[in-house]
Structure 1
Amino acid sequence: MKSSRGFTLIETLIALSITLLVVGGAYTVFNSQQRNTTVQSNISDAQQVVRSSMDFMAKELRMAGYDPKLSSSFGIRDIHLRTYDLNTSAAGYSFIEFSWDKDEDGIVDNNEITSFSLYDDSDVAPGTNALMYGTSDSARQPLAGYITAMGLAFAYDFNGDGKMDTDAAGDIIWAIDAGNDNVWDRLAINTTASPPTVNTVSTGTPIKMQHIRAIRIWLLSRTEAPDQNYTDSNTYIVGKQAITPNNHYRHRLLDRVILCRNLGT
């Protein structure tokens, strides 16, 4: 005779508890993996944005001063600090305008004058800045979103000896026009401090655009979405700025030196 005995209430509760533990554990693992995947995807996007932006800027800036007709009409035109609306201001941000002879006719056309700047563009990058690219024959266009900051500094050959000017220790002088007064101000960067610091020290050397031989670029990007389980308390040196985000976004900094092969020739 077959038994008709089923599960007791205690057995059912034990089975249900085990099932909930297994399902709960699986959900925890899945949720953690999904969050990590999202974080890594956001980081990858931020890295790609800053790399592609840097590559484009480097390609363009290497052409600054290209002048096959030897017209002496092409080169770096302006490095004054500017606001997001391109008004000159010592409290502004890095900006550069330069030209090169794209059609090799020795005449500066409007489409041969290029600029890079930042803009607080909520349409392109809500809550942060966009890297802008412009020519004189058209309005500035966003090159990349979520570029938190851009820094530019310049190495120059003031004494005309064919070498970039150095300090007493033999280090290249990287400088900006911090006061928009046409005098070079050296960037004094201390990466051994905690947090790192940067200051500007006047060199007393007047700025001549034709003396510029190299450009140093810093680009700081951030993820599009925040990670509430992370706070970025790092300090990033971006040109004249020391930036400590203290927010839930992850940031990526890229620093590159561009030799201006068409300047000083």
Structure 2
Amino acid sequence: MAVNNQKGFTLIEMMMALVIGAMITAATYATYSSQQKAYQTQDQVAEMQQNLRAALYLIIEEIQMAGYDPEDSGNFSVTSAMPGRIQFETDKDEDGDSADEDNVNDSKETIDLGLSRTFDANGDGIPDTDSDGDGVPDPVDIGIQTGGAGGFQDIAENIQAVEFLYLDSAGINLALAPPVDLSAIRSVQITILAIAERSDPKFINSMTYTTPSGQNWGPYNDNFRRRLLTTTIKCRNLGI
């Protein structure tokens, strides 16, 4: 009589193998999904931080030169100081004259920084447009304009709000006694609120962002991450 030595898996063994395989697959997917979400979150945060730092680098560089007047001509100063926009003059060609060879304003020596009037007509630092009617202003770009012509050149995108705070030599907020005394400005404290380019359906932003002047931005109660950054810039060429 022949002996049947064939070996195999029983149905129970196969079912157990399938269950174990499914558990391993589920665990692997959960780990991958979690890591992917963490990566996307970090990517958004890093993008906002880079956006803010790049903008502040250029803003600091320009504001530090406000009122630069190596010829001591008295022709260069801060000419406008609004919550969302600052305008000043700087003698970049060091000729002591704010006019060019055609006796018109030198386009390189008058600087506007902040939100364009196109986005922020009253200059309060909060964009005017709310295209979807959700009560949250549309994010805009913060920019720089030279000579009052040519339009603002973007230096940072996806900005929710901006605040320029003007301080005297004692660090006192000059806006407490409006209008701002332009001749008393010695430093500018700028606060920028950036918003992520993409929303995260699993994230609710219910934070309130408070600026140095006491403004409250938010809560927005939406799915966008935001970052607030404040820095103080000493106007080394003012009050000399």
TM over 0.5: yes
Question: Is contact 1:151–1:240 with CA below 8 Å preserved after alignment?
Answer: no
Aligned match of 1:135 = 146
Tell me, yes or no, if structure 1 residue 235 matches structure 2 residue 208: yes
Letter in 2 for 1:241: Q
Counterpart of 1:52 in 2: which secondary structure? helix
Q: 2:67 aligns with which of 65, 74, 84?
A: 65
Q: Distance in 2 between matches of 1:3 and 1:243?
A: 78
Q: Distance in 2 between matches of 1:117 and 1:212?
A: 17
Matches within 5 A, 1:48-197: 48-80=50-82, 94-108=84-98, 109-118=106-115, 119=119, 127-136=138-147, 137-156=149-168, 163-164=169-170, 172-176=171-175, 186=176
Counterpart of 2:152 in 1: which secondary structure? strand
Counterpart of 2:164 in 1: which secondary structure? strand
CA offset digits 1:115-168 (Å, max 9, x no partner): 11224699xxx9512111111242111111012111011112xxxxxx43xxxx
CA offset digits 1:202-258 (Å, max 9, x no partner): x3x654312211111001112222222222222112356311232222211111111
Q: Distance in 1 between matches of 2:179 and 2:54?
A: 34
Aligned match of 2:239 = 264
Q: C-alpha root-mean-square deviation of aligned residues, in Å?
A: 2.2
Q: Distance in 1 between matches of 2:114 and 2:57?
A: 16
Q: Which has the larger radius of gyration?
A: 2
Specify which structure has the higher proportion of strand. 1
Matches within 5 A, 1:23-38: 23-38=25-40
Question: Is contact 2:166–2:173 with CA below 8 Å preserved after alignment?
Answer: yes
CA offset digits 1:49-78 (Å, max 9, x no partner): 111211211111010000011111111111
CA 1:21–1:57 in structure 2 vs 1: closer, same or farther (change >3 Å)?
same
CA 1:174–1:42 in structure 2 vs 1: closer, same or farther (change >3 Å)?
same
Q: Distance in 1 between matches of 2:14 and 2:138?
A: 53
- TM-score, L = length of structure 1: 0.73
Question: Is contact 2:111–2:145 with CA below 8 Å preserved after alignment?
Answer: yes
> Which runs of 5 or more structure 2 residues have no equivalent in the other structure?
99-105, 120-126, 131-136
| Matched residues, number | 211
